[in-house]
Chain A
Amino acid sequence: MDLFNAFIVVFASGIRLGTPLILACLAGLWSERSGVVDIGLEGKILVGAFGSAAVATFTGSVWLGLLGGVAATIAVSLIHGYASIDQRANQIVSGTAINMVADGMTALIGNAIWSQGGRTPELPAYAQFQTIELPFARAFGSVPIVGPIYERLISGHDLITYAAFLLVPLTYWALYSTRFGLRLRAVGENPAAVDTAGISVRALRYGAVMICGVLVGLAGVYLVLSQEAYFQPHMSAGRGFIALAALVFAKWRPWPALATCLLFGFLDAVAIRMQGVELPVIGPVPVQAIEALPYILTVVLLAGFIGKAIPPKASGIPYVKER
């Protein structure tokens, strides 16, 4: 039973750690399915986190904090969109620039305002998202096996986590069942086909880039308003890149993206859980080895174990109207 409880704790923690990955991964999915490669997810997470921390600190409102974070990432996404779509810039260069600028500017501005080495003051509880207890969680908790799973694994997360899980079917539905989704999938594969069908390639890609901004903004907001209660320089800690890896891993499809991000989240949770644990023979668990697992998994599995991951054909290529 102890082992069972330990599992529940690790899984619940995996869900929390996986949430920003899911959001960032879906953000990348929208952008790249439209043909705009987004290597700047990492920087955008930081911008979203900083935006929400700053606004929440000044206003004391969690909702305004959320809006602030999302608005900041939409702005950055539009810069990337303008460079990639209108100026036909190299999208990798644009994305890398965003990463670098975001990393430096958030720390710089944070330090200029609060003089805490870039850190923002800790937010009061009312300016954070609180965990939500699902109905009957307490009452149900005493039922063996199913009870604890419901009470401690499914219940007890915050709004953004639930939103992230809902966004997966929503993304799936939007991609495969709506006009916008069809056009988006087409524009990422062959923009000329979309253009000759009388549809604006530019408008579609801008739409996708804005959706990407909202989703990746939520990932940043989550780090601040749900997890840490403050912004700290470099706090994205590579999540944007892991999300990109997950996106490739999932072959740009929503449900596999969810599974991959959860897997990476669980690995992270296991790494934390194993800290300082003594194992027979090995001795203390090499935490670094477990922390490296998502990266190693990505590299090894992508090297042929999950088959070829074929990106949307037009991703990264600016559309030039010509014949």
Chain B
Amino acid sequence: MSILYGFYEADSGEIRINGEPVRIRSSREAISHGIGMVHQHFMLVPPLSVLENVMLGAEGGPLLAEGAGLIRKRLAELGREYGLEVNPNAIVGELSVGLQQRVEILKALVRGADILVLDEPTAVLTPAEADQLFEMLRVLKGERKTIIFITHKLREIMSLTDRVSVMRRGEMVATFDTDKTSPPELADAMVGRKVILKIDKGPAHPGRIALEARNLVVRDDRGVVRVDGVSFILREGEILGVAGVAGNGQSELLEALAGMRPPSAGEILVDGELLTHVQSNPRAERLIGIGHVPEDRHRVGLIMPFEACESAMLGFHQERVYGRGMLFDRRAIIADAQSKMKAFDVRPPSPLLKTANFSGGNQQKIVLAREIERNPKILLVGQPTRGVDIGAIEFIHKRIVAQRDAGKALLLVSVELDEIFALSDRIIVLCAGRITGERRPEDTNAQDLGLLMAGVSERAA
């Protein structure tokens, strides 16, 4: 797709648009051929307004005033036609992710794109936003636009596409008509072998209460209350799933439990003992047996330019096994990383490779290995399979279940409902920082949880 949008030039082969062979050497040429791209990481300038972002590169003259009126009008038209309303004066950085994506799509449409390429567009969206996006894309399809939709979510392929091609290791391995294929068939093609989408998992045997939260209140950096009086218990030998639309307090809850963000009110009890203020930091929590797989491995979980063996001991680097006093025992560190990589099937198993050079799935395995091999009593897991390929997802899910079977208490925060369903023994749903309901996966379904996620609480319903 980068080649299609002029980031790179193909070494060989050709691109044809409407049957005409074309050469695309830059993004400018791609745009002029009517290709519009919605990147996974938005190509927006956050401090600028929506209008300015849309205008950038299509100003219509050396002075902004001339083009601004035209583009403003065009935005209003597109807004009406496709249900893509955005306030043109809003600052992009202050918009929700869903709206930012809308701005990206508008950028492409204003430039007259006929072929729209979307790279993993739903990875950052809430389910409701994703539904809106699909609605919009269907309208665009009706307007005779061509849409290339890149995703690894089977459900999206099935619900949205007409044809689907499966790409594996740089090759198109299969192409199907969507209505003549099935999710298992696609999954097979994606990994090249049979995948069990359903996890084999026996009944849970919950034991003592390992972790308890009482009326937790957590504020974000701006002082906004994100977790608003949340209480729950987590027992040994069970997986408690925390479901919810992204941005409803799950991240802050996880951060508070992991000691990264002190709660402004409420109590956290570990093994029935109140977690003191002094203990409420990630290092102290690790020492009392709380492992944490953070939601964002790039930002929090790993240091990308570090060697894998260094990333594999982050947070535990002060332990004796890694060296004495101020000096590290390099050999011990590498040996430790090697054994972790072996245990978690990290590929390539090279402790000296830079962390950034591993795929997302393998990076995630490094984080999991680091936290799990320390044998914590409680494991807090945030978005364990975000941006992870399907083969690694299966592996990671199995490991999480194995931890439960070993009697650990696991808290799973995920925005993937499938994941919550597949792994959890109990599910709590957060909406606007409050728990709107608790369910057992066997007693509920996506619609039911959807209602809870939308804030229709049991009492209100």
Contacts and interface: CB of A to CB of B under 8 A. Distances in A.
Contacts of B107: 197
A198 interface: yes
Contacts of B58: 197
Given A190-B46, A198-B57, 18 more contacts: A177-B64, A182-B55, A182-B56, A185-B47, A186-B45, A189-B46, A189-B48, A190-B45, A193-B44, A193-B45, A193-B53, A196-B39, A196-B43, A197-B107, A198-B29, A198-B30, A198-B31, A199-B28
A179 B261 CA distance: 43
Contact of B56 (A177, A178, A193): A193
A9 interface: no
Q: Is the contact region of chain B dominated by helix, strand, or loop, or is it mixed? A: loop
A178 B44 contact: no
A157 interface: no
Contacts of A183: 56-57
Interface of B: 2, 5, 7, 26-31, 37, 39, 43-48, 52-53, 55-59, 61-65, 67, 107
A90 to B, nearest CB: 16
A181 B68 CA distance: 14
A194 interface: yes
B45 A189 contact: yes
12 contacts: A179-B59, A179-B67, A182-B64, A190-B45, A196-B37, A197-B43, A197-B57, A197-B58, A198-B31, A321-B7, A323-B2, A323-B7
A195 interface: yes
Given A196-B39, A321-B7, A186 B65 contact: no
Given A189-B46, A189-B48, A190-B44, A197 B56 contact: yes
A176 B45 CA distance: 15
B63 A177 contact: yes
Q: Which of A185, A197, A313 has the most CB of B within 10 A?
A: A197
Nearest to B67: A179
Contacts of A197: 27, 31, 43, 56-58, 107
A178 B64 CA distance: 5
Contacts of A182: 48, 52, 55-56, 59, 64
B5 A196 contact: yes
B25 to A, nearest CB: 11
A162 interface: no
Contact of B48 (A186, A192, A321, A323): A186
Contacts of A179: 59, 61-64, 67
Contacts of A199: 28, 56-57
Contacts of B26: 198
A114 interface: no
A47 B301 CA distance: 47
A180 B62 contact: yes
